[in-house]
Amino acid sequence: MSQTQTIYKGLAGGVVDTTAVSKVVPETNSLTYRGYAVQDLAAGKSFEEVAYLLWHGELPTDAQLALFTQRERANRRLNRSAQAVLARIPETCHPMDVMRTMVSYLGSEDPEEDVPTVEADLDKSLRLLAVLPTIVAADFRRRRGLEPIGPHHGLGYAENFLNMCFGEVPDRVIVDAFSQSMVLYAEHSFNASTFAARVVTSTQSDLYSAVTAAIGALKGSLHGGANEAVMHDMIEIGDAARARDWLTAKLDAKDKVMGFGHRVYKNGDSRVPAMYDALVAVSEHVGETRWLDIYTELAAAMDERTGIKPNLDFPTGPAYHLMGFDIAMFTPLFVMSRVSGWTAHIVEQARSNALIRPLSAYDGPIQRPVPA
Ligand SMILES: CC(=O)SCCNC(=O)CCNC(=O)[C@H](O)C(C)(C)COP(=O)(O)OP(=O)(O)OC[C@H]1O[C@@H](n2cnc3c(N)ncnc32)[C@H](O)[C@@H]1OP(=O)(O)O
Ligand SMILES: O=C([O-])CC(=O)C(=O)O
């Protein structure tokens, strides 16, 4: 290895490009989307408005939102060929495999797949944002042996999705908590899945290929898959009284504790307070505080022992469980939201492109002759 080469293992600390989509400031635990604080967006704006903001740079006017909403609602239905593909994917696979396969399939039947203009990419982005909830809900129901429920054009994004899953629109508390999770998950600068999408885009590949790659990256438990792992851990712990012993055994074994730590935030994740409040609201509404108690005990014990704070996946795991979702679909819920951020970055990358191709420092055998 050359003495002059600096290695940024995991690209940690390396600044790869500029972005105008979002800004993470770890020193102040702050996150803004296009200049707006994420907690203010979560408190006062719908996911549709936030997706519009991420894609267009500004919040929509009433007229722009009406048009956007109309187009989102018109694109929710899954056509027959896509329904047939979904039916052929084994129910035994992880639901993230369904997401990856379906996005790839949707690309193959889109005549605009390889049209590289901003306008065409924003159209594709809106179509994906609109149809992914229909796929997630249909997959959720088929695994429970239930018929799918089609989209309801009179309902907003969150209400419609919850209705497609559960056959009714739940109480406002649940709808609001779910909607807030969608806003909080929507975007987070150059995280691993967004970066994967940008790498694919940088080769002048298409938007569906980039989103398919991003889904693959999000599936892993060090990234989006952590929200599922958190709930499995909480179920294993079972009772807040066991949380400290469980944690001690985990840390003594040098295992990572899911839902804690972050590559960028070292003093807490800016999105956690808003999602924690949503978890409290859902727990009180459902009348089940067991997971909240485990949350509190585990977070305190982890802080005392390591100083490492929860990330967004820590409150969303139990919140989604209390909303009635199956654990294996927690990361697909993350996809439904993050597709907005991924596609904002895809458009940004394509507009100001440079092939993403870092160097490596070779440390294999020195050159040698091939044996005869
Ligand atoms: C929405 C999201 O994607 S948020 C992230 C979701 N992922 C998780 O929750 C998985 C658990 N967390 C982790 O594995 C890590 O915190 C990551 C991968 C998210 C970030 O990791 P990095 O920035 O690479 O930090 P790194 O792994 O070097 O951690 C620094 C130190 O803290 C420790 N640490 C960090 N997170 C954890 C954790 N969750 N549990 C136990 N120890 C941890 C590391 O073991 C390391 O200790 P060491 O210096 O003694 O070796
Ligand atoms: O930024 C990261 O590395 C992971 C994360 O929190 C996210 O993608 O939301």
- Residue 253: partners with Cβ closer than 8 Å, 6 or more residues away: none
- Residue among 189, 190, 227, 260 whose CB has most ligand 1 atoms within 8 A, to mutate: 260
**Amino acid at residue number 369:** P
Mean pLDDT of 256-280: 96
194 close to 181: Cβ distance less than 8 angstroms = no
How many angstroms separate the alpha carbon of residue 345 from the centre of ligand 2?
A: 14
Q: Just give the CATH number of 22-218+335-351.
A: 1.10.580.10
Name the closest-CA residue to atom 25, ligand 1.
Answer: 263
The dihedral sign for the CA sequence 10, 21, 31, 99: negative
Q: 3-class SS at 34?
A: coil
Which structure tokens are listed for 179? 């909607």
35-57 pLDDT tens trace: 999 999 999 999 999 999 999 99
- Residue 328: partners with Cβ closer than 8 Å, 6 or more residues away: 94, 95, 228
Q: Which ligand is nearest to the CA of 192?
A: 2
Number of H helices, E strands in the chain: 16, 3
331-367 pLDDT tens trace: 999 999 999 999 999 999 999 999 999 999 999 999 9
Active site residue 313: yes
With CA atoms as reference, report the closest residue to 241 among 303, 296, 281: 296
What fold does the segment set 226-323 form as a domain? Cytochrome p450-Terp; domain 2 (1.10.230)
With CA atoms as reference, report the closest residue to 135 among 108, 96, 185: 96
Residue 2 has pLDDT above 70, yes or no: no
The reported pLDDT for the residue numbered 29 is 86
- Residue 129: partners with Cβ closer than 8 Å, 6 or more residues away: 51, 72, 336, 339, 340, 343
Active-site entry in 206, 313, 321, 345? 313
Alpha-carbon gap, residue 96 to 78, rounded angstroms:
18
Ligand 2 pocket by Cβ (under 6 Å): 188, 191, 262-264, 311-312
The reported pLDDT for the residue numbered 266 is 87
Which structure tokens are listed for 136? 């997630």
Which structure tokens are listed for 85? 């593909």
Name the closest-CA residue to atom 4, ligand 2.
Answer: 191
How many angstroms separate the alpha carbon of residue 63 from the centre of ligand 2?
A: 33
55 close to 344: Cβ distance less than 8 angstroms = yes
Ligand 1 atom nearest to CA at 314: 9
Active-site entry in 188, 206, 223, 262? 262
Domain positions in the chain: 22-218+335-351, 226-323
Q: 3-class SS at 37?
A: strand
Supply the ipTM of this predicted assembly: 0.98
Q: How many residues does the chain have?
A: 372
Ligand 1 atom nearest to CA at 251: 41
